[in-house]
Amino acid sequence: MMRNVYSVGQVNAYIKNMFTQDFMLNRLYVKGEVSNCKYHPSGHIYFSLKDESGTIACVMFAGSRSGLSFRMQEGQQVVVLGSVSVYERDGRYQMYAREIILDGAGELYLKFEALKKELEEMGMFAQEYKRPIPQFVKKVGIVTASSGAAVRDIINIAARRNPYVQLILCPAKVQGEGAAESIVQGIRMLEEQDVDVIIVGRGGGSIEDLWAFNEEIVARAIFESRVPVISAVGHETDTTIADYVADLRAPTPSAAAELAVYEYQAAENLMKEYQMRLSSAVLKKAEQNRQYLKQAALKLRLFHPRQKLLENRQYASDLELQLRSRMEEILQQKRHQFALYVEKMKGLSPLEKLNQGYAYVEDKKGRPVRQIADVKEGDAIRIYVSDGMIEAQVKGMTEEIQYHA
C-alpha cells in the first residue's frame, strides 16, 4: 500500500520553498555568457547564462529594467545580480535578475556598492541635507570637460532659456587618472566665485568612464560644498555616487541646465501676471476700503455728537414751544377763571355796593354798624361812600326803613 503520495504541484511548491529559505539564493551574483536573449513586447527579457560547465535560465521583468543600462546581445559576458527560485508551472528553477552589468565592470560595481552603502550609512544621502536650488540664479558654475557635448548642451540650453545668466566654466578632467582630483578642484574654485549653483557632470559612458564620479573625494566635495550642486552624469540610465550625494540629480547635462536656469520669458510673463493680479487686488482692496470709509462716514454723521446735539437742540426747542403753548393755554384758562372770579367778587365787593348807592358805616372804634343796636344817640360814626368818607353823629334811630321804588 502506497503512503505519502504527493502531487506534482506539491513537490514543486516544496522545492520552491526550499529555494526561498536559502539565504544565499536570494541574493547572488552570477557571471556568464548571454544566449537565447529575447525582448518580449511586455518589456520582460528572457535569456540564458552559460559557461563551459552549464546553463541557467534567466528572466528580467519589466519592473526591474532600471537595473540594466545597455541592450543585451548574444555572446556578451555579463554579471547578473538576482535570486534563484522555482517556476512551479514548469517545475524548473531559473534566475530572476534585478541588475545586469557587463563583465569587466563587475569589480568596479562591487566597489561602487560598498562605497554607496558606507556613505549612505554615514547619512550623506539623507534628504535633510539636500539644499534647494535657487529659483532665480544669476551665476551658474560648471565643472566638466571644456570640450565635449555636455558643456555645449549646457551652454545652448542656458542661452535659449535666459541669455542674461552668467555661466562660469571650470574645465576639469572627467575620466582617467587625476579626474577625481580635477573635479574636486573645480568645485572648490567655483565656491570662491560666489556662484548660485554648480553643475557637475559629463556625457554618457561605461562604468569605467564614469568612475571619477564614484570616488569618495568627489562625493565629499559635493556634500561639503557651500553652494547647491546639481549632478548631471551620463545618460538617464547612468547612476553614480555623485548623483546620490548631490542636492539634485539631473538625468542629462541638458536637463541640468533646464533645472538650474530659469526661463526668462516665462519668468517675465509670470511677473506680468503677478503684477496684473497685484494691481487688481490693490484696486479691489482700495474699492473695498472706499466703500468702508463711505459707510463709516455715514455712520459718523449719523452718530456724531454734533448730530446728536442738533437733534437734542431741536427736541428741546420743540419742548419749549410745547411748554410755551401749554403755558399760554393754562394762562388763558386762568385768566378766564380769574375774570369769572372778578365778576363774582364784584358782586360781593363793598366798593361795588357803594357804587350802587350803598354805604358802609362804622363807629368811632372802627367797628361795623350792622344794626341800630350797635350805636346810640349822640355817637360819632363814619359813613363810607363810593368817593369818600362822611363823619356824622347819630341824632336818632328808626327801626324800620321804607324803600321807595
pLDDT digits (tens, 9 = 90+) for 159-181: 999 999 999 999 999 988 999 99
Residues with Cβ within 8 Å of 55's Cβ and at least 6 positions away in sequence, in order, are 35, 48, 49
Read off the pLDDT band of 372 (50, 70, 90). confident
Full-prediction pTM beyond 0.95?
Answer: no
Distance CA 74, CA 48 (A): 10
Distance CA 204, CA 210 (A): 8
Residues in the chain: 405
Q: What is the pLDDT of residue 181?
A: 95
346 has pLDDT over 90: no
102 has pLDDT over 90: no
Q: What is the pLDDT of residue 272?
A: 86
- For residues 232 and 240, the answer to whether their CB atoms sit within 8 Å is no
The DSSP 8-state label assigned to residue 227 in this structure reads S
Distance CA 162, CA 155 (A): 10
Q: CA-based angle 55:60:62, to the nearest 5?
A: 160
The DSSP 8-state label assigned to residue 176 in this structure reads S
Per DSSP, the three-state class of 234 is coil
Q: What is the pLDDT of residue 354?
A: 64
Residue from 136, 249, 119, 242 nearest 183 by CA = 242
- For residues 139 and 168, the answer to whether their CB atoms sit within 8 Å is yes
Residues with Cβ within 8 Å of 237's Cβ and at least 6 positions away in sequence, in order, are 66, 68, 69
- For residues 49 and 60, the answer to whether their CB atoms sit within 8 Å is no
pLDDT digits (tens, 9 = 90+) for 50-93: 988 888 999 999 988 888 888 888 888 888 999 998 888 888 88
Distance CA 48, CA 34 (A): 6
Q: What is the pLDDT of residue 349?
A: 67
Average pLDDT over residues 374-386: 83
Q: Among the listed ranges 118-132, 221-235, 366-380, which one has the minimum average pLDDT value?
A: 366-380
Who has greater pLDDT, 132 or 383? Answer: 132
Q: What share of the chain is helix, strand, coil (3-state, %, to 5)?
A: 45, 20, 30
Distance CA 298, CA 278 (A): 30
Average pLDDT over residues 183-189: 95
Q: What is the pLDDT of residue 106?
A: 57
Q: CA-based angle 190:195:197, to the nearest 5?
A: 95
- For residues 234 and 205, the answer to whether their CB atoms sit within 8 Å is yes
Q: C-alpha grid cell for residue 91?
A: 517545475
Who has greater pLDDT, 28 or 3? Answer: 28
404 has pLDDT over 60: no
Can you name the residues that pair with 50 across neighbouring β-strands? 33, 55
- For residues 186 and 169, the answer to whether their CB atoms sit within 8 Å is no
Distance CA 141, CA 169 (A): 6
Read off the pLDDT band of 22 (50, 70, 90). confident
405 has pLDDT over 50: no
Read off the pLDDT band of 217 (50, 70, 90). very high
Read off the pLDDT band of 155 (50, 70, 90). very high
Average pLDDT over residues 285-310: 80
Number of CB atoms found within 10 A of residue 373's CB: 9
Q: C-alpha grid cell for residue 5?
A: 503520495
400 has pLDDT over 80: no
What is the rounded end-to-end Cα distance, in angstroms, of the chain?
Answer: 182
- For residues 327 and 352, the answer to whether their CB atoms sit within 8 Å is no
Distance CA 265, CA 327 (A): 89
pLDDT digits (tens, 9 = 90+) for 227-254: 999 999 877 777 889 999 999 999 899 9
Q: Rounded mean pLDDT of the chain?
A: 85
Average pLDDT over residues 352-360: 70
4 has pLDDT over 80: no
Q: Among the listed ranges 109-123, 155-169, 263-277, 303-317, which one has the minimum average pLDDT value?
A: 303-317
Listed ranges 90-94, 299-303, 340-344, 401-405; the one with the highest mean pLDDT: 90-94
Q: CA-based angle 78:80:81, to the nearest 5?
A: 155
Who has greater pLDDT, 53 or 403? Answer: 53
Listed ranges 16-20, 146-150, 195-199; the one with the highest mean pLDDT: 195-199
283 has pLDDT over 50: yes
- For residues 244 and 125, the answer to whether their CB atoms sit within 8 Å is yes
Q: What is the pLDDT of residue 353?
A: 66
pLDDT digits (tens, 9 = 90+) for 36-49: 999 999 999 999 99
Average pLDDT over residues 126-153: 91
